[in-house]
């Protein structure tokens, strides 16, 4: 039972354009959502998060949007850079003990 | 300044043998986690710890056990390795979920 879903295994965008990565969840108890970035042969690194009491959180080029009624969140990267090429994982939790991850989306930013 | 290290980085073992993976942290974080990463599944929680000697099961705990005798060390043991346990294993630490998890570099385990 995959409670966090990333339906796009891959995404390719041109440098300088916007990248939009999507994530859906099924468990209405989730109240904290995070995005992680992963390069090959490394562990995931925390990128940005959002609490369920907000609908937007911004950090530099990265913005996360949360639509609770649709159980959907998205990560926007503007402008996209070649160094952003990585696998992005969406994650959700309702306590400190159990964070659920999506399957990941591989982003490729072309120069 | 990694703060979290996993050992070994790579291991090949035979079916039926016991295997122990180690996670060591220098951050004094309360929470520690073991995840496995497989294609199409993302990261799935195996076991977690919320303090010394306090551990609990995650969503894919069958065939795995853990121990945490010190704050800094969290061991994952495969009592009798099977080919389905071939995977990349990640350890993570956290003080609180609001700050995200810090992951180790992973252990690539191959069971032949």
For the stretch B74-90, pLDDT in tens is 999 999 999 999 999 99
The reply to whether B34 touches chain A by the CB within 8 Å rule is no
A46, A95, A100 member nearest B100 (Cβ): A46
- For residue A90, report the phi and psi dihedrals to the nearest 5 degrees: -90, 145
Mean pLDDT of B90-110: 93
8 Å CB contact between B24 and B2: no
How far B34 CA lies from chain A's nearest CA (Å)?
11
**Contact check, Cβ <8 Å, B103/A44:** yes
For chain A, positions 55-94, list CB contacts with chain B under 8 A. Answer: 89, 91, 93
pLDDT at position B1:
52
Each residue's pLDDT tens digit, A58-88: 999 999 999 999 999 999 999 999 999 999 9
Q: What distance in Å separates the CA atoms of residue A25 and residue A95, rounded to the nearest whole number?
A: 16
Q: Kindly indicate the confidence band of residue A26, based on its pLDDT and cuts at 50, 70 and 90.
A: very high
As given in the structure block, the two tokens for residue A36 are 């992680």
The reply to whether A41 touches chain B by the CB within 8 Å rule is yes
């Amino acid at each position: 039972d995959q409670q966090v879903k990333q339906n796009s295994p891959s995404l390719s965008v041109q440098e300088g354009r916007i990248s939009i990565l999507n994530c859906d969840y099924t468990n209405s108890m989730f109240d904290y959502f995070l995005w992680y970035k992963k390069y090959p042969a490394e562990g995931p690194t925390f990128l940005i998060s959002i609490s369920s009491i907000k609908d937007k959180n911004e950090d530099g080029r990265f913005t996360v949007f949360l639509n609770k009624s649709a159980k959907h969140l998205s990560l926007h990267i503007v402008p996209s850079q070649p160094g952003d090429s990585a696998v992005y994982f969406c994650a959700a939790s309702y306590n400190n003990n159990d964070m659920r991850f999506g399957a990941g989306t591989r982003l490729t930013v072309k120069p | 300044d990694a703060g979290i290290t996993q050992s070994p980085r790579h291991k090949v073992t035979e079916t039926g043998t016991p295997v122990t993976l180690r996670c060591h942290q220098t951050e004094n974080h309360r929470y520690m986690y073991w995840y496995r990463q497989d294609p199409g599944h993302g990261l799935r929680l195996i076991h977690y710890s919320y303090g010394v000697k306090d551990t609990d099961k995650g969503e894919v705990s069958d065939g795995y056990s853990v121990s945490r005798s010190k704050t800094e060390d969290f061991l994952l043991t495969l009592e009798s390795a099977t080919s389905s346990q071939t995977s990349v294993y990640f350890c993570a630490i956290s003080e609180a979920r609001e700050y995200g998890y810090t992951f180790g570099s992973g252990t690539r385990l191959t069971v032949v």
